[in-house]
Chain A
Amino acid sequence: MAAGDGAEEVRLSVPATPEYLRLARITGSGLASRLGFTYDEVEDLRLALDELCFALVGADGRMGTLEVRYTVTDKTIEVEGTLLGSGSAVAPSLSDLGDQILAALVDDHAVRPAGERPSIWLRKVRAG
């Protein structure tokens, strides 16, 4: 999943509450725009980020910090969201519908429920 040579990483750490998810969207769309994503692609990415964050934070928020790591290369953006310092680790989960939605919005995605860093990850590649 490492994006390889020439990859640049941006990290965003915010309280894990719905009020801050806007920042995750803005950061993502800003980076995608730098990569020359089209309006359609940026909108899809934004919807995907909403799904990703919701799966981690829920509608009511969680204790702790949401860390979102953006890795960009030439025409690809990868985003990994993790919930940090929430005491008992809450494993992220995606509903079947959430899974279907992400599959339509991005090129690849994965839920990593176990391990040291339970996270949700996605990748979107510019078409042109």
Chain B
Amino acid sequence: MSFDVSRREELKAKFSEFSETRDQAVRRELIEAHLGLAEYLARRFANRGEPLDDLIQVASVALLKAVDRYDPDRGVEFSTYATHTIAGELKRHFRDKGWAVRAPRRMQELYLRLGQAISALSQERGRSPTISELAQETRVSEEEVLEALEAGQAYRFASLDAPGTGPEEAEALASRLGEEDPEFTGAEHRATLSPLIAKLPHRQQLILHLRFFEGLTQSDIAARLGISQMHVSRLLARSLAQLREAAETDGLT
């Protein structure tokens, strides 16, 4: 992750310019020039049970912060400063998932069965099932249902790419989210979005928007996007966790 001497000088000059002008085009250029560093660091944290996409996203958000906060007058190279910031955020990402215990296989299986039961019962009854109905359907106790849901939500095996996200579901999501939702891209709605939300992947932005600004229920969103309720829950929980992390580090809480 090193640049040749002339490029390094060029970037140095850009940082000085940015620290004086806060010019957004310069900022973008500086961010883009260092995305490779963010990805490089994210990859060093891969294979520890967190999806690489998530890690790259954490690293990229940290890079934005590093660019914004870097003070060239302090005499520290940006790459040194950024590496420190990004690695710190990545470590924190892992530490925040504190209970880094892999859910037992039995819980994972129950979690997947619950996903199916939630969809089936919702369709059958035209409403979201209660926990007790889910327990009956899957023939386990309510406590086990709650434990499995909690374990699933705790990210341990709830990667979006994990089993449970069948190919057809992933495809449905990708194709629906590929279409620009006209309501969503309206300037009026964009104004309601916090800049922190704007940093999230588009599909997460859309789901946040539907739940928190349009007031749709999780089931409504699942039906509208053609994905499972459980998937919506996971995406919401993940998005909110990411927003909290970003807000905390931005000091915007």
Residues on A facing B (Cβ under 8 Å)? 18-19, 22, 25-26, 29-30, 32-33, 36-44, 46-47, 50-51, 54-55, 58-60, 93, 95-98, 100-101, 104, 128
Query: Is the beta-carbon distance between B143 and A97 smaller than 8 angstroms?
Result: no
Selected from B147, B217, B245, the residue in CB contact (under 8 A) with A40 is B217
Query: Is the beta-carbon distance between A26 and B150 smaller than 8 angstroms?
Result: yes
Query: Is the beta-carbon distance between A39 and B129 smaller than 8 angstroms?
Result: yes
Nearest Cβ in chain B — how far from A114, in angstroms? Answer: 18
Query: Is the beta-carbon distance between B146 and A38 smaller than 8 angstroms?
Result: no
Interface majority SS (helix, strand, loop, mixed), chain B: helix
Residues of A contacting B146 in the complex (Cβ-Cβ under 8 angstroms): 26, 29-30, 33, 42
Cα A6 to Cα B249 with chains together (Å): 43
Q: In the complex where A38-B127, A40-B128 touch, is A50 in contact with B142 (Cβ < 8 A)? A: no
- The yes or no answer to B60 lying at the interface (CB within 8 A) is no
Query: Is the beta-carbon distance between A93 and B131 smaller than 8 angstroms?
Result: no
Residues on B facing A (Cβ under 8 Å)? 92, 96, 98-99, 118, 127-132, 134, 142-143, 145-147, 149-150, 153-154, 194, 196-197, 211-213, 215, 217-219, 229, 233, 236-237, 240-241, 243-245, 247-249, 252-253
Residues of B contacting A54 in the complex (Cβ-Cβ under 8 angstroms): 244
Residues of A contacting B237 in the complex (Cβ-Cβ under 8 angstroms): 46-47, 50
Nearest Cβ in chain B — how far from A32, in angstroms? Answer: 8
Residues of B contacting A44 in the complex (Cβ-Cβ under 8 angstroms): 218
Residues of B contacting A39 in the complex (Cβ-Cβ under 8 angstroms): 118, 128-131, 134, 229
Cα A104 to Cα B218 with chains together (Å): 11
Select from chain B the residue with minimum beta-carbon distance to A29: B146
Q: A22-B99, A46-B237, A97-B197 are in contact. List 16 more A-B contacts (CB 8 A).
A: A25-B150, A26-B146, A26-B147, A29-B131, A29-B146, A29-B150, A30-B143, A39-B118, A43-B149, A43-B236, A46-B153, A50-B240, A97-B194, A98-B253, A100-B213, A104-B212
Cα A37 to Cα B145 with chains together (Å): 13
Residues of B contacting A60 in the complex (Cβ-Cβ under 8 angstroms): 248
Query: Is the beta-carbon distance between B130 and A59 smaller than 8 angstroms?
Result: no
Query: Is the beta-carbon distance between A59 and B96 smaller than 8 angstroms?
Result: yes
Cα A32 to Cα B212 with chains together (Å): 21
Residues of A contacting B132 in the complex (Cβ-Cβ under 8 angstroms): 33, 36
Selected from A46, A58, A93, the residue in CB contact (under 8 A) with B248 is A58
Cα A25 to Cα B241 with chains together (Å): 14
Query: Is the beta-carbon distance between B143 and A93 smaller than 8 angstroms?
Result: no
Residues of A contacting B154 in the complex (Cβ-Cβ under 8 angstroms): 22
